[in-house]
Amino acid sequence: MDGAATTRWLIVGVDGTDSSRHALEWAAQQALLRELALRIVVSAGARTPVGAFGAHLPGEPVPPGEADTPGAERLLERAADWVSRLFPELEVQPRLSYARPLDALLAEAAESGAAAVVVGSRGLKGIVAAFVGSVGIELAARSPVPVVIMPHEHAFAHGVRGRVIVGVDGSEPSRRAVGFAFAQAAFAETDLVAVSAWQPLVAFAAATGPIPPELFDDSTAEEAARGSLEEEVDAARLRHPGVRVVQRVVRAHPVVALLEEATPADLIVVGSRGRSGFRGLLLGSVSHSVVHGAKGPVAILR
């Protein structure tokens, strides 16, 4: 069989900002860890990049809608060279696109060899950067593969071994998130922390209407959360028996529980939409809030 046909890769969107540089470096580390190639995607339709790589790229911003092919080519070359210097053994595949950044990344994610897409959470203020927060959010809502979003100011915790933190709520996206989290922890040989958050049922009374008095017992909500957590963890553990798992059942809002547990070194994994997601939103409220509040990478499973 042709070796090129079996190659799998991580995809990373780069626009020259600090946020996309964090995404590039993190994606390169993960690709090397998982023995994947790294595909770097740059959109020529974006304005001339400035920031982490852009300082080395002379040229004036082009008007919206006009392709900046020379600037994009320089950025792509600079990004590929940066990664090759950091990880000389890593296979790098530069890819220049003339599509909108979102469309370019979705097209790459739809190919059979794609394992995941990595982007920065937001670029520069205004419209200078291409891969801004709105692109990451819509990408996470539509991508057929997991999307990892890096924070704007990623504070690497040097000397701290990163864990994998996964949110569990019993939904189908949650089960996919748990499966991905176990696989990631197995590759990285690190601990996995599974978090199931619960809140007193009385907090939902106004929104859902009358609740029978017997359901106001907090132990009912806590036991439901614990049962869901144990069920999902036990199912995934069968496929990855070597992963050490710490289970946490926390009385808190899910966003608070996840953000308080995670450090900047940890990868947080969540489903794109939990049990209470609103269909009118691109992402569920929990995944959206975690992306905006996290200090480290967040993986979203659609």
Give pLDDT tens digits for 241-267. Answer: 999 999 999 999 999 999 999 998 899
| More confidently predicted of 179 and 220 | 179
- Give first-to-last CA distance, the chain, whole Å: 31
Tell me: the pLDDT tens digits for 43-53?
A: 886 544 445 55
What backbone torsions phi and psi does residue 139 show, to the nearest 5 degrees? -60, -45
Question: What is the pLDDT at residue 50?
Answer: 46
Structure tokens at 298: 């967040």
State yes or no: pLDDT of 22 exceeds 50. yes
Express as a percent the part of the chain with pLDDT over 90: 44
Q: What pTM did the predictor assign?
A: 0.81
Express as a percent the part of the chain with pLDDT over 70: 73
DSSP H helices in 87-216: 101-110, 133-142, 172-188, 205-208
Tell me: the pLDDT tens digits for 215-231?
A: 556 777 788 889 889 99
What single-letter amino acid sits at 17? Answer: T
DSSP H helices in the chain: 3-6, 18-33, 69-86, 101-110, 133-142, 172-188, 205-208, 218-237, 254-261, 285-293
